Amino acid sequence: MPDWQYKSWIDFQIAGPQNIVENTLPDGSVKRFITNSNQDQIENWYRGKFYLYDNNAVEDDELVDLVTTIEHSVMQYGIDLVIVDNLMTALDVDMAADEYRCQSKFVKKLSRLAKRLDVVVILVAHPRKNSFTKDENDAVSGSADITNAADIVMTFKRDEETPDHNYLSLSKNRWFGNLTKKNGIDLWYNQKSRRIIDKAKGDFNYEVGWKIEPVQQEFDGFINLAEGEETPFT
């Protein structure tokens, strides 16, 4: 997914459905957008807090090891949460190379970086196709070290019968030991804003703090005159 589309999805999630405009086109399709005013406020809100890096936008002769790039960014910008989406696109691996070995090396480097710099690193990894295992830690496509090196393993699944219904399960937890029950946590998806929430704790229209409401001043009956302006009363 290109960086501009990734940013658009993030902006929609930040905006919320109540701040997204919908227009129905003649062909019946729906176009959604954020007004320029709200877009400016959103970008001002996360400027200096959110950074998006697209390793596909870098020329081959300028490629730097992704973990090194992450480390430099954390140290330079004070980042405390890193999301790598996803494992396969993060690796610049020749098809003839040992893919599993490269995956193992990459996730171990990420794990060491997280502990050394005291940051949270979330690595997105897709499930193995046609996997029939009941162990969610073994269902990840690729090297077993992907989940072995992680302190926490979470699995996100869609409900096949109800597309907007999802489940989040916690199958490994080195921090506290708590795991989710059989069906996990019920989550719901809002197509308009791409938000995913636990309905038991709120609705899709929650605010995150980017919106600046205009200040309304009460009129007390007095008008402030500009400097040097004469009063009409004598």
- pLDDT tens for residues 101-117? 888 889 999 999 999 99
pLDDT at 122 over 90: yes
pLDDT at 232 over 60: no
In a domain, 12, yes or no: no
Place of tokens 């090297």: 143
In a domain, 80, yes or no: yes
In a domain, 209, yes or no: no
Number of domains in the chain: 1
Q: Which domain holds residue 85?
A: 54-150
In DSSP terms, 172 is beta-bridged to: 153
Cβ 192 vs Cβ 20: under 8 Å: yes
Q: Which residues contact 81 (CB under 8 A, 6 or more apart)?
A: 119, 120, 122
Tell me, what DSSP letter sits at residue 226?
Answer: P
pLDDT confidence of 63, banded at 50, 70, 90?
Answer: very low
| Per-residue pLDDT at 143 | 73
In a domain, 126, yes or no: yes
In a domain, 182, yes or no: no
| Per-residue pLDDT at 95 | 44
State the Cα–Cα distance between residues 138 and 158, nearest whole angstrom.
18
In a domain, 115, yes or no: yes
In DSSP terms, 123 is beta-bridged to: 84
pLDDT at 90 over 90: no
| Per-residue pLDDT at 160 | 87
In a domain, 6, yes or no: no
Q: Which residues contact 131 (CB under 8 A, 6 or more apart)?
A: 138, 139
For the whole model, what pTM was predicted? Answer: 0.81
pLDDT confidence of 224, banded at 50, 70, 90?
Answer: low
Cβ 92 vs Cβ 133: under 8 Å: no
In a domain, 98, yes or no: yes
Question: Quick one: three-class SS letters along 48-109?
Answer: CCCCCCCHHHCCHHHCCCHHHHHHHHHHHHCCCEEEEECHHHHCCCCCCCCHHHHHHHHHHH
